[in-house]
Structure 1
């Protein structure tokens, strides 16, 4: 995602109107749900307009900061473009969480238009990847993700890990992405299997599921302190 600083700043403020994403008192349970996912997105957007993610100056990548660069960043904003890099699993979960926010919170009317614009852009990008495979991933952009899952963050990171693992071998096809995303759909074998894994690990460690933290290299869990 790329844009000027002002656009990213406005997006961050808009996300804040949907939910208090900067709430320092967020509970572990909230952080594990759709609230945590949308807060993660808000966090990335905020750091993007601060120049802490992707950054170009006059269409050239900026890799190192200096006092001179910082002064330009503050005084000549129009010369800069900022951005963030998100995986497809993260983007799909973010959109599902954003829709879930609308179900629970009174948001400004313009939010709906922006979400639809995001959706159309994502559809176009995925179709550019493969028009023939697009129908397999389309449901996960239009409601197949069970965003009311109280452990949505765990499911997102689990799928994202599998997605990144596949990407180390080759470019991940939409068919493969759709197979991994099946874990996010309530009632599927993959959903039930991973939920059972979380419950088993929580019982083993004698803690709530939301306090689990994955040690991804070994795919085991420990208690988040």
Structure 2
């Protein structure tokens, strides 16, 4: 069974599971990666980039290249758990992109059950870290982030960078819904960032998908999760 716990500084969560649990989650994600490209839908490449960056962390987790811990279920039964640290921003945007793609593919009860399990634990992790901040943030699990955003990966990277730079803690966590206004369709923040991306692409003579976020000055490896 998967479970999710908040990181000490509240930058994000630790996604935990036995090898089989994480592998199953990885396989479910894989079913909805790249499917919409066959429909030539706007933003499919951008959504795929977002989903694949998340699934990469899940794969690294069950391969034992991220976090590890052992839990005693009884005196004679010890289970090895594997995990990965994922920011709130990355997790919420991933869910938005995945749900969008699931609309255009056949889903099974297992797929839906897996998604509901993940959403349950993510909501619990929010409440466990800070009940006050969670009240406004939980709604973004089910909606808010514009799923059809053709530049959704770039929005995730920008908002995630802004959040990480705040250094974590309950104050930053409670301000997270305000940062996420940038991802809500028709808000001034959403339209302003879309204009910025399109102008930058025009200036550089490329597409928005070719743009990279300039976050070299952010010390991600030194972040205290």
Deviation at 1:102, TM superposition (A): 1.3
Per the alignment, residue 150 of structure 2 pairs with 150
Secondary structure at 2:54 match in 1: helix
Deviation at 1:40, TM superposition (A): 1.5
Query: 1 or 2 for the larger relative contact order (CA 8 Å, sep ≥6)?
Result: 2
Deviation at 1:8, TM superposition (A): 1.0
Q: Which has the larger radius of gyration?
A: 1
Relative to structure 1, the CA distance from residue 215 to residue 136 in structure 2 (aligned partners, 3 Å threshold; closer, same or farther) is same
Per the alignment, residue 209 of structure 1 pairs with 208
Per the alignment, residue 26 of structure 2 pairs with 12
Secondary structure at 1:84 match in 2: strand
> Is the deviation greater in 84-93 or in 105-114?
105-114
Aligned counterparts of 2:217 and 2:66: Cα–Cα separation in 1: 28
Per the alignment, residue 132 of structure 1 pairs with 132
- Contact 2:89 2:159 survives alignment (8 Å): yes
Relative to structure 1, the CA distance from residue 218 to residue 9 in structure 2 (aligned partners, 3 Å threshold; closer, same or farther) is closer
- Count matched residues: 192
> What RMSD in Å do the two structures reach over aligned CA positions?
2.3
Aligned counterparts of 1:47 and 1:217: Cα–Cα separation in 2: 23
The TM-score, its normalising length taken from structure 1, stands at: 0.77
Deviation at 1:79, TM superposition (A): 4.8
Aligned counterparts of 2:125 and 2:163: Cα–Cα separation in 1: 18
- Contact 2:25 2:114 survives alignment (8 Å): no
- Mapping of residues 23-62 of structure 1, within 5 Å: 30-32=44-46, 34-56=47-69, 58=70
- Contact 2:201 2:207 survives alignment (8 Å): yes
Post-superposition Cα deviations, 1:127-159, rounded to whole Å, max 9, x if no partner, equal 223333323212311210001111100000000
Aligned counterparts of 1:17 and 1:199: Cα–Cα separation in 2: 31
Aligned counterparts of 2:129 and 2:196: Cα–Cα separation in 1: 33
Per the alignment, residue 195 of structure 1 pairs with 194
Per the alignment, residue 185 of structure 2 pairs with 186
Per the alignment, residue 160 of structure 1 pairs with 160
- Contact 1:136 1:174 survives alignment (8 Å): no
Aligned counterparts of 1:106 and 1:91: Cα–Cα separation in 2: 23
- Contact 1:18 1:107 survives alignment (8 Å): no
**Unpaired runs of at least 5, structure 1:** 24-28, 60-77, 220-225
- Contact 1:19 1:105 survives alignment (8 Å): no
- Contact 1:90 1:156 survives alignment (8 Å): yes
Relative to structure 1, the CA distance from residue 115 to residue 79 in structure 2 (aligned partners, 3 Å threshold; closer, same or farther) is closer
Secondary structure at 2:132 match in 1: coil
Post-superposition Cα deviations, 1:67-90, rounded to whole Å, max 9, x if no partner, equal xxxxxxxxxxx6532101001101
Post-superposition Cα deviations, 1:105-144, rounded to whole Å, max 9, x if no partner, equal 2122211111111112111221223333323212311210
- Mapping of residues 90-109 of structure 1, within 5 Å: 90-109=90-109
